[in-house]
Amino acid sequence: MFFASDNGGPVHPQIMQAIAAANDGHVLSYGNDPLTQQAVEMIRELFEAPEAVVRLVATGTAANALILSTMAQPWQTIFCTPLAHIHADECNAPELFTGGAKLTLTGTDGAKMTPDTLGQAITRIGWRGINAPQPGAVSLTQVTEMGTLYTLDELKALSAIARAHDLPVHLDGARFANACAALGCTAAEMTWKAGIDAVSFGGTKNGCMAVEAAVFFDPAVAREFDLRRKRGAHLFSKHRYLAAQMQGYLQDGLWLDLARMANERAAQLATGLRAAGVDFVCEPQANMIFARLPRSEHQRLMSGGGVYYTEDGDPWHGPDDEMLMGRFVCDWSVTEDDVDRFLQLVTG
Query: What would the pLDDT profile of 63-103 be if each residue is shown by its tens digit?
Result: 999 999 999 999 999 999 999 999 999 999 999 999 999 99
pLDDT of 226 reads 96
Is residue 170's pLDDT more than 90?
A: yes
pLDDT of 84 reads 95
Give the C-alpha separation, 284 to 233, whole Å: 37
Confidence bin at 130 (pLDDT 50/70/90) = confident
More confident call, 293 vs 348: 293
Give the C-alpha separation, 13 to 333, whole Å: 11
Architecture of domain 255-347 in this structure = Alpha-Beta Complex (3.90)
The CATH class of the 13-253 domain is alpha beta
Give the C-alpha separation, 315 to 216, whole Å: 42
Average pLDDT, the chain: 96
Q: What percent of the chain has pLDDT over 70?
A: 100
* pLDDT tens digits for range 293-338: 999 999 999 999 999 999 999 999 999 999 999 999 999 999 999 9
pTM for the whole structure? 0.96
| Domain boundaries, given as residue ranges, for the chain | 13-253, 255-347
Q: Tell me the residue ranges of DSSP E strands in 156-243.
A: 169-173, 198-202, 212-216
Is 269 in contact with 330 (CB distance < 8 Å)? yes
Is residue 59's pLDDT more than 90?
A: yes
* pLDDT tens digits for range 193-228: 999 999 999 999 999 999 999 999 999 988 999 999
pLDDT of 197 reads 98
* pLDDT tens digits for range 222-251: 899 999 999 999 999 999 999 999 999 999
Give the C-alpha separation, 300 to 298, whole Å: 5
Confidence bin at 348 (pLDDT 50/70/90) = confident
Confidence bin at 129 (pLDDT 50/70/90) = confident
Beta bridge partners of 53: 216
